[in-house]
Amino acid sequence: MGKRKVKSEEELKNMVLPVANDVIGIAKKMLGFDRVLVSCQDGKERLCRIRGKMKRRAWIRLGDIVLVSPWDFQSDKRGDIIWRYRRNQAEWLRRNGYLKI
């Protein structure tokens, strides 16, 4: 057994758009382990965790645009980060009206 390979960002080509109750937000503060404080577009700050599928594949930094899926309970306070947008994807979101920041 060797080390896991980290997928590069170029391999993640298809972009995920918000559906149902998903919200776009900005990563404001890294809290350690797999948690991030995210300022969402609906005006709420959520304590979000990075989904296990994403943990070592896409690194999240301060100021990154992320897609948050609020939890069923405590939906105003907590959620899961399900996608991180790259710069060109964030510009596309701004141009097409998904991102109002």
Report pLDDT digits (tens) over 62-100.
999 999 999 989 888 999 999 999 888 888 888 888 887
**Structure tokens, 26:** 């900005």
**How does pLDDT run across 4-50, given as a tens digit for each residue?**
555 544 444 678 888 888 999 999 999 988 899 999 998 999 999 98
Q: Radius of gyration over alpha carbons of the chain, in Å?
A: 14
Fold designation for 20-95:
OB fold (Dihydrolipoamide Acetyltransferase, E2P) (2.40.50)
Find all residues with CB under 8 Å of 36, minimum gap 6, and list them: 27, 28, 29, 30, 47, 48, 49, 50, 60, 66, 81
pTM: 0.79
Find all residues with CB under 8 Å of 45, minimum gap 6, and list them: 28, 37, 38, 39
Q: Write down the pLDDT at residue 11.
A: 42
Per-residue b/e over 28-63, b at no fewer than 16 CB within 10 Å?
eeeeeeeebbbebeeebebebbbeeebeebbebeee
C-alpha distance from residue 91 to each of 9, 24, 86, 99 (Å):
16, 13, 9, 9
